[in-house]
């Protein structure tokens, strides 16, 4: 690619928060090990990453407000609340990278607690308003799910999540939020209060998958469109393979220096697209 631009210097630190010990099964079996708390800054972008029971949560820090991307479990709320208190700015956005249970079971409660609006892809927004149900990954690709669950630490569904009826992200879930929904997040949507961040529609793993991109900083929040159990990899768990390959090609055209994945540690530094593991079964990179 020609015309490569210089991305601003990245600063990485560890927020001064007490974190529970990581799951022993993830320590033992996950190739890259469990993720930790991390704050990454460049230009005017700042992301605080918080490991959760089933997925990573990421807080986007704006000048006067915060946005929280993905809350897999209500059991994650104590650490998330500690992080929000430490950041000491109002939480105005709660965003779902997609509506799989492991990314969204805790979203509604945290949005209600903070009076934040829930931001969703138009397909997820429509289903949350009572429209058509969302497709899930095919049964064939679900065979890939179980070992990644082990890498996640084989978490049992938390009692806090069972108590709320598993009403988000499962095939039977109604996905009805009690918190206020923001208008659907269109392609290119800018997030009010978070300068530089915009929404990318990246279908494939899920039809309703979004990424959040900060062009100046070269930061990309990916949900499950990218993950890091094995050093940073494309996700073979797919709802729509052709759409996913288009999303891959689109993302590869972006200049980035940090991926904030839905699972596993952040992937930081240069040449990220070349470092990613390809989809299994494909000759080389797509
Ligand atoms: Fe997912």
pLDDT score, position 117: 98
- % helix, strand, coil for the chain, step of 5: 25, 20, 55
Q: Please give the Cα distance from 84 to 55 (Å, whole number).
A: 18
Residues with CB under 5 A from ligand 1 (ion): 100, 224
pLDDT at residue number 1: 47
> Ligand 1 centroid vs 192 CA: distance in angstroms?
26
pTM: 0.95
CA of 63 to the centre of ligand 1 (A): 30
CA of 206 to the centre of ligand 1 (A): 7
Q: How far is the CA of 253 from the centre of ligand 1 (A)?
A: 23
- Ligand 1 centre to CA of 1 (Å) is 30
CA of 239 from ligand 1 middle (Å) equals 10
pLDDT at position 4 = 75
Quote the ligand 1 centre to 64 CA distance (angstroms): 30
Residue 225 C-alpha to ligand 1 middle, in angstroms? 8
Q: How far apart are CA 221 and CA 208, in angstroms?
A: 15
**10 neighbors 41 (Cβ within 8 angstroms):** yes
Q: What CATH homologous superfamily does 11-275 map to? A: Ribonuclease Z/Hydroxyacylglutathione hydrolase-like (3.60.15.10)
C-alpha–C-alpha distance, residues 157 and 235, integer Å: 23
Residue 167 exposure: Cα atoms within 13 Å on the Cβ side = 14
Tens-of-pLDDT digits for all 286 residues of the chain? Answer: 456 789 999 999 999 999 989 999 999 999 999 999 999 999 999 999 999 999 999 999 999 999 999 999 999 999 999 999 999 999 999 999 999 999 999 999 999 999 999 999 999 999 999 999 999 887 777 778 888 999 999 999 999 999 988 999 998 899 999 999 999 999 999 999 999 999 999 999 999 999 999 999 999 999 999 999 999 999 999 999 999 999 999 999 999 999 999 999 999 999 999 999 988 765 433 3
pLDDT of residue 281: 62
Instruction: Tell me the CA–centroid distance for residue 143 and ligand 1, in Å.
Output: 14
CA of 237 to the centre of ligand 1 (A): 8
Q: What six digits make up the tokens of 259?
A: 């991926």
**What's the pLDDT at 175?**
96
The alpha carbon of 223 and the centre of ligand 1 are apart by a number of angstroms equal to 7
Q: Decide: 209 and 96 in contact? Cβ < 8 Å.
A: no
CA 214 – ligand 1 centroid, Å:
22
Q: Which two tokens stand for residue 62?
A: 């704006």
Domain boundaries, the chain: 11-275
């Amino acid at each position: 690619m020609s015309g490569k631009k210089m991305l601003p210097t990245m600063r990485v630190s560890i927020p001064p928060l007490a974190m529970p010990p990581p799951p022993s099964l993830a320590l033992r079996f996950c190739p890259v090990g469990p993720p930790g708390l991390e704050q990454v800054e460049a230009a005017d972008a700042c992301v605080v990453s918080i490991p959760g029971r089933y997925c990573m949560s990421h807080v986007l820090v704006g000048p006067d407000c915060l946005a929280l991307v993905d809350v897999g479990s209500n059991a994650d709320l104590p650490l998330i609340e500690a992080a929000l208190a430490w950041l000491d700015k109002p939480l105005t956005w709660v965003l779902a990278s997609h509506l799989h249970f492991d990314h969204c079971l805790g979203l509604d409660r945290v949005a209600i607690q903070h009076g934040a609006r829930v931001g969703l892809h138009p397909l997820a927004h429509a289903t949350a308003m009572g429209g058509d149900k969302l497709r899930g990954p095919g049964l064939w690709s679900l065979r890939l799910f179980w070992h990644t669950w082990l890498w996640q630490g084989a978490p049992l569904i938390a009692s806090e999540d069972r108590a709320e009826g598993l009403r988000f992200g499962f095939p039977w879930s109604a996905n009805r939020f009690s918190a206020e929904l923001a208008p659907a997040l269109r392609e290119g949507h800018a997030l009010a209060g978070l300068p530089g961040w915009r929404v990318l529609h990246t279908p494939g793993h899920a039809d309703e998958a979004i990424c959040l991109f900060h062009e100046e900083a070269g930061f990309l929040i990916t949900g499950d469109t990218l993950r890091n159990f094995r050093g940073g990899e494309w996700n073979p768990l797919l709802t729509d393979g052709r759409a996913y390959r288009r999303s891959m090609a689109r993302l590869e055209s972006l200049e980035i220096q940090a991926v904030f994945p839905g699972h596993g540690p952040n992937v930081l530094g240069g040449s990220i697209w070349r470092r990613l593991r390809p989809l299994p079964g494909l000759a080389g990179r797509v």
